[in-house]
């Protein structure tokens, strides 16, 4: 197979945000994981990807004659404070690939070495465990029907990565609808404001975002407003879908929010075991800014930052621009509510109504009170010891078991079994990661080999000590 033909669309259209760069060669690359279903979707031959030439492509040392890899510049609010220049400090956009179905995808590396955006003291590298974690979690989200960036491969570099201890290094090959982030707009807006980029940079960024992600609006008379509305709607839906599956992203900084509406950046994310609206897993989220139940509020906060970057394009008059932005941001709450309440109704096997809203609210209160396991409780609702009155009201609405089954997975990548599998992988044994990956790829199908993922951790089995995640650096 010839090396896949990568385009350099981002580099051409948004050169102010791109620094031509090359991946650091991996000393002795070997495939730790290859996503065969995704390779097929992209028209790539899994057997070729496993060859030396395939590994040279996947690690960016030979991305093909036409490729022009770049490190992307972006800014971002991290835990509420603004960093004007983050950018790809350990990542690289190899280029864009057109799949056989005509769709366009970014092929991007994470852990490919230092770039001009790497901060002092950082190494530009990634360890095998966190990269496998990103693969497993993103495949789980994908199988649950949640829009997400995905991992085409995890390549062990054969080199060491120094963290608290020395770990095996890896490169994640990430495939995304794009890597345009809220933070990309923040950086572009700041460059224009400072006179360091031409005025039309934001216009081009809006046009590129619409063309790639919201093509129905590409010819709108008011493109910036159309984009803002589309991103508000996409993010409202995304966060609702996360929460319906018990997902806590963990680091919803504005640089980790896409304009495509895909989930991105799986550092300290986790799935709920016992239901607690205030659940926090990340070691660095001490204030609970990114807690489970805070996610809609934070998404809207981030979208406010996004809207600010678009103000000059929304209307010539500043007051009119703010009014337009507020109107568009006002779409978040109804869009979130529709997706969340509609999704809860489906989990109950019901079409949404005032009755389903009331039943769901009552059930959430009961689940939270008992810290009942999120995934297992929903999957086994008829077996739960729920109040007779609640059950009678639910049954009177004639719930559809098929609808409920399709909305309630049997399994998610539970935190502790996944961590144990990643630890084994870093010690050289990938078998358990492979088992978990296969199991989370069919979350609605019973399996004999996934009881640790399907069944909540038993009390006394370490299950009551809070699970803590660490950023995947
Ligand atoms: P993230 O936590 O992945 O959203 O990354 C936030 C910022 O830190 C981005 O600019 C990353 O490129 C950068 N970063 C994270 N880990 C590393 C690393 N090991 N070396 C260099 N830069 C990094
Ligand atoms: Mg990030």
What pLDDT was estimated at residue 49? 98
Domain that holds residue 144: 9-178
93 within 8 A of 108, measured Cβ to Cβ: yes
Within a domain: 239: no
Q: Are strands 91-98 and 104-110 parallel, antiparallel or unpaired?
A: antiparallel
Within a domain: 407: no
What pLDDT was estimated at residue 472? 62
Cα separation, 446 vs 285, in Å, equals 35
- Nearest to 184, CA basis, from 202, 211, 158, 166: 202
Task: Please state the domain count of the chain.
Answer: 1
Within a domain: 447: no
245 within 8 A of 412, measured Cβ to Cβ: yes
* Alpha helix positions (H), 15-127: 36-42, 46-49, 52-58
What pLDDT was estimated at residue 461? 55
Ligand 1: which atom is nearest the Cα of residue 110? Answer: 12
Per-residue pLDDT reduced to its tens digit, 280-336: 999 999 999 999 999 999 999 999 999 999 999 999 999 999 999 999 999 999 999
CA of 3 to the centre of ligand 2 (A): 28
Within a domain: 324: no
Give the number of the ligand closest to the Cα of residue 124. Answer: 1
Q: Is 200 a catalytic residue?
A: no
What pLDDT was estimated at residue 366? 98
Per-residue pLDDT reduced to its tens digit, 392-413: 999 999 999 999 999 999 999 9
Within a domain: 323: no
Kind and range of the H or E run holding 340 = helix 332-347
Per-residue pLDDT reduced to its tens digit, 242-280: 999 999 999 999 999 999 999 999 999 999 999 999 999
Cα separation, 394 vs 47, in Å, equals 51
What pLDDT was estimated at residue 150? 98
Within a domain: 127: yes
**Over the chain, what is the mean pLDDT?**
96
Q: pLDDT confidence of 473, banded at 50, 70, 90? A: low
Give the number of the ligand closest to the Cα of residue 268. Answer: 1
CA of 459 to the centre of ligand 1 (A): 36
| pTM > 0.95: yes or no | yes
Ligand 1: which atom is nearest the Cα of residue 91? Answer: 12
Is the Cβ atom of 87 under 6 angstroms away from ligand 1?
yes
Count the Cβ atoms, other than its own, within 10 Å of residue 41: 17
Helix (H, G, I), strand (E, B) or coil at 449: coil
Within a domain: 62: yes
Per-residue pLDDT reduced to its tens digit, 326-364: 999 999 999 999 999 999 999 999 999 999 999 999 999
Give the residue whose CA is nearest to atom 10 of ligand 1: 86
């Amino acid at each position: 197979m010839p090396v896949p033909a990568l385009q350099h669309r981002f580099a051409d259209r948004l050169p102010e945000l791109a620094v031509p760069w090359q991946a650091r060669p991996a000393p002795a690359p070997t495939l730790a994981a290859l996503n065969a279903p995704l390779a097929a979707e992209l028209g790539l031959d899994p057997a070729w990807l496993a060859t030396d030439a395939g590994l040279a492509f996947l690690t960016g040392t030979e991305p093909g004659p036409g490729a022009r890899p770049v490190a992307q510049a972006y800014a971002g609010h991290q835990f509420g404070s603004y960093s004007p220049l983050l950018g790809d400090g350990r990542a690289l956009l190899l280029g864009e690939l057109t799949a056989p179905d005509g769709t366009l995808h970014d092929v991007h590396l994470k852990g490919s070495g230092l770039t001009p955006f790497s901060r002092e003291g950082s190494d530009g590298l990634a360890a095998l465990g966190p990269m496998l974690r990103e693969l497993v979690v993103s495949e789980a989200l994908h199988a649950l029907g949640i829009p997400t960036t995905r991992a085409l491969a995890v390549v062990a570099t054969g080199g060491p990565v120094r963290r608290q201890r020395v770990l095996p290094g890896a490169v994640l090959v990430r495939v995304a609808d794009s890597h345009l982030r809220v933070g990309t707009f923040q950086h572009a807006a700041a460059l224009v404001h400072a006179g360091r980029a031409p005025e039309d940079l934001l216009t081009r960024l809006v046009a590129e975002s619409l063309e790639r992600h919201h093509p129905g609006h590409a010819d709108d008379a008011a493109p910036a407003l159309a984009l803002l509305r589309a991103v508000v709607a996409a993010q409202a839906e995304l966060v609702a879908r996360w929460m319906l599956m018990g997902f806590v992203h963990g680091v919803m900084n504005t640089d980790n929010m896409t304009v495509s509406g895909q989930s991105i950046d799986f550092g300290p994310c986790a799935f709920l075991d016992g239901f607690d609206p205030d659940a926090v897993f990340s070691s660095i989220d001490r204030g609970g800014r990114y807690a489970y139940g805070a996610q809609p509020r934070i998404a809207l906060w981030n979208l406010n930052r996004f809207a600010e970057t678009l103000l000059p394009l929304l209307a010539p008059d500043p007051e009119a621009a703010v009014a337009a932005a507020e109107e568009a941001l006002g779409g978040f709450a109804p869009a979130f509510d529709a997706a969340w309440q509609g999704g809860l109704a489906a989990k109950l096997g019901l079409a949404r109504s005032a009755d389903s809203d009331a039943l769901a609210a009552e059930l959430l209160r009961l689940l939270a009170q008992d810290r009942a396991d999120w995934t297992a409780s929903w999957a086994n609702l008829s077996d739960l010891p729920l109040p007779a009155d609640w059950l009678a009201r639910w049954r009177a609405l004639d719930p559809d078991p098929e609808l409920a089954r399709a909305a309630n997975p049997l399994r998610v990548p539970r935190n502790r079994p996944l961590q144990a599998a990643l630890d084994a992988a870093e010690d050289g044994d990938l078998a358990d990661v492979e088992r978990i990956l296969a199991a989370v790829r069919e979350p609605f199908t019973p399996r004999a080999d996934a009881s640790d993922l399907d069944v909540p951790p038993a009390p006394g089995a370490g299950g009551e000590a809070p699970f803590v995640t660490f950023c995947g650096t």
